Chains A and B, each alone.
Chain A
Amino acid sequence: MADTLGAIWVYLAASPLLGLTVTLLAYIGAHALYERAGANPLLNPVAVAVALLIGLLVLTDTAYATYFEGAQFVHFLLGPATVALAVPLYRQLPKLRRTWAPVLVAVVAGVAVAALSAITTAWLLGASTQTLVSLAPKSVTAPVAMGIAEKIGGLPSLTAVLVVATGILGAVVGTKLFDLLGIRDDSVRGVAMGVTSHGIGTARAFQVSREMGAFAGLAMALSAFATALLLPWLVRLLPLG
């Protein structure tokens, strides 16, 4: 019996099936918990699913690389999902026509604030150069941020983690912060959410309203462009290392 179980485990641990299945199950569980708690942003589904999976990997002593062999199929969909953002963006075209100039200015300024404030804070508190560079693109969507990190000498996988953390943080505090500041326009809230917290913020914004989601998606796309164009130059100007 124990032998059979052992043999089954050896098979499962080596196949991508398990990593993929547990990723979906963890997310389904996390999402159910989130809905049951009345969409409480503190129970962000990404954060809960990640915590569940890390617990599982530690308990079963499984390497991340082994897990990722299965999870990469989910990870891969980030690419087509980024392309798919063109659709909600197109739906907001009439509103975008009226507000494109202020949105563009706000996005470029937001991108600069995101990178500079993160680098400065971490630098003042004594972070290493490689950490600083990995931190710089943390407000853009994961595939973009990882590409930028590689270009400017950071660690792409560390950047991916910081990107997800930033996304969760923004999704958790965003709506509360906007309420405190008295910002009620969903297009304004969406842009700020998308610039700061990319896809995770956009996912949260879509839960609030379609308009907020579309503008978050737009801001996320624009900031991906702005960051990819600006950050390599910005980092070169900073007195790092």
Chain B
Amino acid sequence: MTFIQGIAILLAYQLVGEVAVLWTGAPIPGPVVGMVLLFLTLCLRRGVAERLDSTASALLAHLSLLFVPAGVGVIVHVQRIGAEWLPLAAALLLSTVLTLAFTAVLLRLLTRRATAAPRQEGD
């Protein structure tokens, strides 16, 4: 029963998110709004109910599985990918490596400053 309760909570938040997006016409996907609403709820309640915790862990433990059906969709785009494989492959490879490196280096720089600054002021 706990699993059903957990999945019902997740679906209800997704539903509220989807309705909010349809209502306002915001260009944000419904599940993302649902996630933010659930996060705010947890912050207000100051805790995660056991039924929600176990369901969320079960879903997230095999998050990769959920991407498989979309990945198989490559089969529909064989022609376009064949014609434009070079720009696509170069863009994916370059952009992935650049974004990983840029974000990590920038964040390390920012957090170093953030943790170093108060110490200088204090002493």
Contact = CB atoms under 8 A, between A and B. Distances in A.
A and B associate in one complex: yes
B104 interface: yes
B106 to A, nearest CB: 5
Chain B CB within 10 Å — which of A86, A105, A178 has the most? Answer: A86
Interface string B5-25: 001001101100100000000
Nearest to B9: A83
Interface string B50-88: 001101110111111111111111111100110010111
A196 B100 contact: yes
A64 B95 CA distance: 29
B90 A121 contact: yes
A86 B31 CA distance: 11
Nearest to A221: B35
A148 B27 contact: yes
Contacts of A192: 99-101, 103-104, 107
Nearest to A53: B72
Interface residues of B, number: 72
Contacts of B73: 64, 68, 157, 160-161
B98 interface: yes
Contacts of A89: 35, 39
Majority SS of interface residues in chain B? helix
Interface in A145-167: 147-148, 151, 155, 157-158, 160-167
Contacts of B103: 106-107, 109-110, 113, 191-192, 195-196, 219
Interface string B105-123: 1111011001000000000
A163 B68 contact: no
A90 B42 contact: yes
Given A157-B77, A196-B99, A106 B17 contact: no
A105 B114 CA distance: 13
Contacts of A202: 63
Interface in A178-204: 178, 181, 183, 185, 187-189, 191-193, 195-197, 199-200, 202-203
A83 B40 CA distance: 12
A164 to B, nearest CB: 4
Contacts of A109: 102-103, 106
Contact of A144 (B29, B70, B72): B29
B43 A128 contact: no
Given A53-B68, A75-B69, A131-B80, A86 B99 contact: no
25 contacts: A23-B65, A46-B68, A47-B71, A57-B75, A77-B66, A82-B35, A87-B42, A87-B53, A88-B56, A103-B107, A110-B106, A113-B102, A121-B87, A122-B91, A144-B28, A162-B92, A170-B100, A173-B96, A177-B97, A188-B108, A200-B67, A203-B62, A206-B60, A221-B32, A221-B35
Interface of A: 23-24, 26-27, 44-47, 49-50, 53-54, 57-58, 64, 67-68, 71-72, 74-75, 77-91, 93, 98-99, 101-103, 105-107, 109-110, 113-114, 117-119, 121-128, 131, 135, 138-139, 142-144, 147-148, 151, 155, 157-158, 160-167, 169-170, 173-174, 177-178, 181, 183, 185, 187-189, 191-193, 195-197, 199-200, 202-203, 206, 217, 219, 221, 224-225, 228-229, 232
